[in-house]
Chains A and B, each alone.
Chain A
């Protein structure tokens, strides 16, 4: 029996579908202090004074902390490998408030009601400052978001706080201006994407307590337990050896929980009071002070010849870090590297970027991590170029797309060892019946049916940085324990890593007990982000199993008294063909009996390359020219994630990512009041797709084989959010001739654009 490439049920599935108490909020001990935060009503202000007198009189209030009470070392909450590229620009509570919702005070009380009542009674005097809200005017603005002296950047990412500059970068390949000058057609466009919210169903939440050894234990809904341990050490000025992080089941993350959003507050309360403490962010707080996608403005210049040869792409991105630089310097890199590298024929390419501070909510990591924004801009521009050339946008891509065997000059010169993008295009066209549907049909009811296309890529882990480790132990009746440090957040990595281990060890899946994550017990893993888990941690599983097999073979051979070279291991027994044998259960049991060694292996894996998965997405829309309403009636996706490890889970990842991408394209608005308060701070105003908003989403896999990946696998999780926005806008362009450049495209935008024609 083999498990890889099968639709295996998730190992925790039945607990989840029967509603077992497995999430952070379900596990919090009774009697924990309830923690809430008083948040700033101003986008930019200084705290003059906080009068706690009345608040402290509320029965049940235990403690109220303000900026004077917290450690004064700056840190970043970005869950990244040290030294983090994100500047150290935060305090737990700061006297300077840099966005609406910045925390002013931490309130801990016996009950939620007491905490909330005390919050209402805190009297704060603010010195209100003029906010810097427009990120296009942030650079060298007289309003400085981070004037503090102890601001520091650990990495050289071009940070200059005095200029509101979080980071900058430039990459040039070939003679960009020369190629543009020689191009027969040059298209220049500016695109704008918003600070989308991950909107995972479980909001940020954490509880903490002091254990029997006197150590701070933090149980949290996080994607990055080991980073949380280090960051809490920084923030609380505590030694890391005194901190333990446990990750239970997580109710979704999508990158939101790659930042330390909620952990610090209860941890600080527990450190100060010695008592268990719990914080649960409201949905509103999750919207207003979470870790959303970086808002970006991207200028694209494409130079091409009339036959459709794309010669050069010049891309400049301005990114809004907001109040804090979490993930600012790193998301921006993907804008260029992942978008430009889709085109293998470029003679020249340039990517420039600036990430700036403003007085809006600090951004973070959201599935796609910059690639989503960059691919939207480049793919939308390529669709416009196709229209301008009068060429089928699929054909234009077929002429120019990256192909297996090429060196990707804009992708750190990595070789493209596994790429089925060409086959994905072929497959998607077949699925969509593109030839017949392109560009549009007008239905009897006046609606327009049209199709649009986009390509996408992502990485598989961060090359040379991400580390995945697993430990596998053989136990006394021949079953294995698989300890992982990566975080299953619903994606199913506990299951797919078990599948790989079962195949490598040639055993039944139920002989592998999987467990993650506890920083005291799990082997180190950077965490589940950057599409790393299948590719990086998966390879750690493969290598660990290889080593463990050798140990089992050696011990088995010794036990039956034959030279190891003559013995074989088939997953159930060590044997000499036609001769003596000993079962795995006997080997396992013997290793527990005092005269032998317990058999276990633990190998860490890192990769010098980050092989991209690829895909083609095609949207078929129904557009009502009277109302401007656009409905995605069908979405066809052909995906090359290398070997598909779990056919069900990869499919659901793809369907879910596409749904989020459709939301980004058509529904998910992010607007602020003139004073900087986020308006779209609930599911009433921030509309994520419901069942009624989505038509069919169809997925097929066109696998290449990645030689450096486990079983030939690459990544899937982030890639799949990248095609809907450009594909849908491409379909709108094909339906109406109207090109839109700002997301989301709302019915009123379409209707108004069409009205202009009637004038």
Chain B
């Protein structure tokens, strides 16, 4: 952790301890323990079914909604702005609603399915502000405009009046980020935020997320399968495999000195631009033998 930034607050904003989440007889998250610090970007990386998304849905307490998901065990200690610490695992639904969107917000992979097709994007962002901050529509619309500017949506005044289908995927994801940040959350959870986007748009959104961390100071937890994305944005990394955290450390530790076989196997499978420089013909991936199957 030598490379961690000095500015990071020593007190975690979120402390997850021994989290265990099950779906019937299947254990999706098995004894996860980690901290999230203010102002940092923590990447949770793993392959399909590793439990990374279930981890984020558990923090939001969305894992139990409409599924057989159950938080069986563990604590998720969250520090409120006034310093009080609550255990998210113990809150009831109405207490959770105070936190969701206000203190902890989330953006998802597919911005089109996260937006309501029959309302304008400005209307939807304003509604989120009205819901959480008890302000009137004019104030909320003004706030929405401010957020559109923050996430660098061109022509923000016109864009407020547009419907989701009138926007590109990258623009929709900006709207989602604007909505997620509209109530000044202290934690932003981004679940595969750029996976559905083209690579040039992905670069723009990742750049935006890096900048927003500076301007808002929110802690960001990014869930991704893409080691390239991790290397671009993360300060610290948690590697998950089959419901367990197999390794965690600074982004430099994970990429340059991975300790676990699984992490090494995962890194060996990552396609790296420039790795073929000087070679005339295609070449297979030099896979580490213990590659997961």
Decide whether A and B assemble into one complex. no
> Which residue numbers of A lie inside 8 Å of B, CB to CB?
none
> Which residue numbers of B lie inside 8 Å of A, CB to CB?
none
